[in-house]
Amino acid sequence: MTHRGDALTTKERRTLTIALLAEILEADPATLRPHDRLRDDLGLDSLQSLELLSRLAEELRIDLPMEDALALRTVEDACCFVETTWSTQSAERARG
């Protein structure tokens, strides 16, 4: 089975992560910087964090472990977390 995330490049998955984060925060994606702290700088609260996880999981068809996601500090952390999780789960799907 092909998942939408399988058709996206690393850059496109990063762009999607930032776009969804910006949408949830009602911010312009162009204003988000890799070093921005999700909670302290951007004001992301726990409900918004859950919404972000849910939307990313749905869009990319991956399981994002909540306990790991709650430890994310920056926009860059979020992008790396999504990419690492996607890569691991994609490899597992390929093995069958």
Q: pLDDT tens-digit profile of 11-29? A: 999 999 999 999 999 999 9
Residue 30 lies in a domain: yes
pLDDT tens digit string along 28-61? Answer: 999 999 999 999 999 999 899 999 999 999 999 8
Asked if residue 47 is part of any domain, the answer here is yes
Q: Which amino acid is at 89?
A: Q
- Position 74 in a domain: yes
The verdict on residue 1 lying in a domain is: no
- Per-residue pLDDT band for 91 (boundaries 50, 70, 90) equals confident
The answer to whether residue 85 sits within a structural domain is yes
CB 48 within 8 A of CB 42: no
CATH of the domain at 79: 1.10.1200.10
**pLDDT mean over 64-81:** 91
Based on the structure, what is the number of domains in the chain?
Answer: 1
pTM, two decimal places: 0.88
* DSSP symbol at 31: G
**Structural domain of residue 52, as residue ranges?**
8-95
Residue 2 lies inside a defined structural domain of this protein: no
Q: What percent of the chain has pLDDT over 90?
A: 69
